[in-house]
Structure 1
């Protein structure tokens, strides 16, 4: 099976007369953990580049519903601001400004949701690691109900955590990502019909509406990639093999009004679909650019000899 793992660095000797670059020091400690950049994770020790899981999903599995969501947000924003839009339409300068403001309505909404989701993840990570809650979130009334329901989930389902925000990678298939957490829960295990100490992969979602929308099949595909990762990095930078992880994960849907845990299949059959998505993403990033060539033209007729 092909892989997108790439070796970083030059493939030919430097040209004569060029100054050889000083070799970078070998990374130690947490610096050994690959970090995402421009859709890739780079292993600083080996030079391997591993495609980012979220990039694979965005390129290989577009969310068609987002197109309609963006249209709805734009329409709602326009209706809520008709006087402003009407007056702005009378002047070319203000018309352009209003147009730019309106067409970015869905982006602003997306950024707002991302900010909330990021803050919730920060607080959850601090709780899991036994660290102080980030000062910026201590008195945030918007974040507080999310955290309250997360703590309820932990208590009611008797959850203990094995890892949080862990970078994991699969060198064979050429990808890496950061999972939300690995956990154990005797009550979840009982519902899944598995031993109480089984490791389960988990993911938190904060968007949508509780019990209506906000958890989608893509979550299972994403977690299947994490479940099939070969290695993970501890916080001190040590690379370790991942323990066996159950083929059903849990998606925790957190909203201000409550929480719901959803089982998410992430076994071999779902992973096979992730690899299909990855193949599409690889095509979009590479081969697709050379599939269609330049337009063909008829050769210029040769002039008859005089």
Structure 2
């Protein structure tokens, strides 16, 4: 009896805190996940170490009470998770800011969470300056050839710039790896329309990162050409070969037992 053929098509599978993609029944590499294949500098490590050190110094007596009450383990676990907690607390979704800002510009009455207000004003300034028209938002794109998929932020028509792909960033800085992310989106082969049907990827004239900051923004051109796409594919290959499922660690075996008796 033959096996049933895998389900054809591109599917985004949503979980409570993350999502994955399938292409014709196979798990695809997510574009942002593939960026883990880029060798990192020590900036993130330095930031994480500073967060933990500053918190420990400022809360040394609370930590001492925690250790006295529960032992070292809970205190160590708490400190290890601090950088992730700070990162998640500071995360602002650019797509959420975009949706609120468009309604704000139209004069709609909206309820804006207090922590998003400065970012909405920053995006509103971009709309007033450039007058973009949204073509697509939150568009799932994929490549069968390279087995990757992702969800780009926006495709817009901007007077004087043409039809462009815009990636929203609300991080403190804009980093080179973002260009590879944009290149993967631009070079995808298909996208999913509102009905979930595949359509040929939309060509764009240019690619930009919209760096949204409190009460301000910067529209930054991105080189998302063939060379950048090749660099993305290199990062994806490194992720699949060496990073995914902790493959390098699995090359190591268990320590040998010490020899005893005559073998010693």
What is the rounded CA distance, in whole Å, between the counterparts of 1:62 and 1:142 in structure 2?
30
Alignment partners' CA distance in 1, 2:159 and 2:238: 38
SS of the residue aligned with 1:55?
Answer: helix
| CA-atom RMSD in angstroms | 3.5
Q: Distance in 1 between matches of 2:112 and 2:99?
A: 17
**Counterpart position of 1:234:** 193
Q: Residues 144-174 of structure 1: CA distance to partner in whole angstroms, max 9, x if unpaired? A: 1111211210120121111110000111111
- Alignment match, 1:146: 119
Q: Partner residue of 1:203?
A: 167
Task: Give the conservation status (yes or no) of the 8 Å contact 1:149–1:254.
Answer: yes
Q: Secondary structure at the match of 2:123?
A: helix
TM-score (norm: length of structure 1): 0.70
Instruction: Tell me how far 1:62 sits from its aligned partner.
Output: 4.0
1:238 CA displacement? 2.1
1:3 match: none
Work out whether residues 183 and 199 of structure 1, in 8 Å CA contact, stay in contact via their aligned partners in 2.
yes
Q: Which runs of 5+ in 2 are unaligned?
A: 257-264
Question: What's the secondary structure of 2:237's corresponding residue?
Answer: helix
Total equivalences in the alignment: 249
For residues 106-135 of structure 1, the C-alpha deviation after alignment (integer angstroms, 9 at most, x for no partner) is: 111011023xx23x42242466699xxxx9
Q: Is 1:53 aligned to residue 27 of structure 2?
A: no
Match of 1:178 in 2: 151
Q: How far is the alpha carbon of 1:87 from its aligned partner? A: 4.0
Does residue 42 in structure 1 map to residue 16 in structure 2?
no
Q: Which has the larger radius of gyration?
A: 1
Higher strand share: 2
2:12·2:19 contact (CA, 8 Å) conserved in 1?
no
TM-score, normalisation: structure 2: 0.80
Contact 2:120–2:215 (8 Å) recurs in 1: no
Q: Quick one: distance in 2 between partners of 1:175 and 1:260?
A: 29
